[in-house]
Amino acid sequence: MIATTTQQIPENEISEIVSVVHNRVVLGANIFSDISASFSDIFGGKNSAYEKRLSEITSEVVEGLKVKASKIKADAIVGLNIDVDEVSGGGKQMFMVTAIGTAVRLKKKNELSSLISSDDLESQIERIKFLKEFETGPIELNDPKVNSFLSENSVPEVFIRIVDFIFKNRESSEAKSYAKFFKSYVSQLNDSVLFEKTLEYMCLYIDDNKSTFLFGFIKNRIIIDYDRIISILENSTFDEKCVVLNFVSLRKKYYSKEDVNSINRIIELIETNFIPKYEEFKKDSLLQKGKSYWRCLSCGSESNQIESEYCKDCRRDKFGTTFTIENKNIVLSKLEVIKSALNSL
């Protein structure tokens, strides 16, 4: 049971005041007779033996108070106050330790989570209305009402259509205002939702300029989670792994020394998933004898000059990846820098 001198308990809400409870212990002065006095007692100094015994007595009184509160089905005691008084009379000297507080019942966690404020309900009603209205039709951001609603509410369901609209109008005179709107829109999405929706979009358009456009537009706003990155690299499709390779060296919100272990696991998974998928060979061309080429093991194409990063036919790189803004080696280099910085702190 919690017993506190404050009137409130953090992360808890008082549902009912039960009663004032008190408990006291009266002790004879000889309670301290087994503790030998020292010069420090005479001159007003500190005696740790006395302090320890007083602390034990105080704890005993508070525990008795908690027992009384439990008997009346209270969950906590607030406003706790403890007094130590000296009582003399009839030639005798005694000490009295008194604890008093207010016994209360706390609102259960599930009760709190089940309550819905009228503001939250009204917001959800507006959200449902909006989604119903734009369930299938286009979302025109030049409509002030639509623009305002999406800037002030979390509506991840329309993320893909919004990015499509902005991509389609990226060369228009309103492009700057759409970019400003998008910044407001994504600020309403929590970090994990924004990451997942970006990943979903980029996987949907993995070989499309739309993915490059979105990543360049949003990468500075993405907050990553190493556990989620590891999960994708362990369990997802190869194309999803290709996309997430672009995210692994982006920032987290907070770091800890334990992140070094996560980075080591990510490095291990990248090395395992993205192995070289090409073979070098030489052949004669019209202009040069023994010219170097590489054979793509993903599609079998043999028309790739050695200096080319991507296969001319399947557009995969030498590690078989598609849509990698930064290749495997650059990503690994950045991870090593982050790991080194964490180890030095």
Name the residue among 1, 5, 2 with its Cα closest to residue 80: 5
Q: Is the pLDDT of residue 284 over 50?
A: yes
Question: So where are the chain's domains?
Answer: 2-111, 116-252
Comparing 192-196, 302-306, 334-338, the range with the smallest average pLDDT is 302-306
User: Residues 202-258: pLDDT tens digits?
Assistant: 989 887 889 889 998 898 899 999 999 999 999 999 889 989 999 998 999 889 988
> How high is the pLDDT of residue 317?
84
Contact 132, 106 (CB under 8 A): no
User: d(Cα 216, Cα 212) in Å, to the nearest integer?
Assistant: 6
Q: What is the tens place of the pLDDT at every residue in 287-335?
A: 678 888 899 998 999 888 888 888 888 888 888 887 666 778 889 999 9
Which pLDDT score, from 0 to 100, does residue 86 have?
A: 74
Residue 195: which pLDDT band, with cuts at 50, 70 and 90?
very high
Least confident of 70-74, 97-101, 157-161, 335-339: 70-74
**b/e code 178-200 from CB counts within 10 Å (16+ = b):** beebbeebbeebeeeebbebbbe
Whole-model pTM above 0.95?
no
Q: So what's the pLDDT on residue 323?
A: 63
Is residue 143 scored above 90 in pLDDT? no
Which token pair is 152? 């002030």
* Cα distance between residue 159 and residue 197, in whole Å: 7
pLDDT of 1-58, one tens digit each?
889 999 888 878 888 888 899 888 877 655 555 444 444 444 455 556 666 777 778 8
Predicted local distance difference test score (pLDDT) of residue 318: 86
pLDDT recorded at residue 227: 94
pLDDT digits (tens, 9 = 90+) for 175-188: 999 889 999 999 99
**pLDDT tens for each residue of 79-134:** 999 888 776 666 666 778 899 999 998 887 665 556 777 878 888 888 888 888 87
- The alpha carbon torsion through 74, 75, 78, 80 (nearest 10 deg) reads 70
A 10 A CB-CB count for 17 gives 12
Q: How far is CA 21 from the centre of its chain?
A: 42
Contact 31, 105 (CB under 8 A): no
Task: Give the per-residue pLDDT at 111.
Answer: 56
Angle between helices 118-133 and 144-152 (to 10 degrees): 130
pLDDT at 55: 77
Residue 342: what pLDDT?
93
Element of type H or E holding 235: helix 226-235
pLDDT value, residue 50: 64
Domain 2-111 annotated CATH 3.40.50.300: no
User: Residue type for 180, please?
Assistant: K
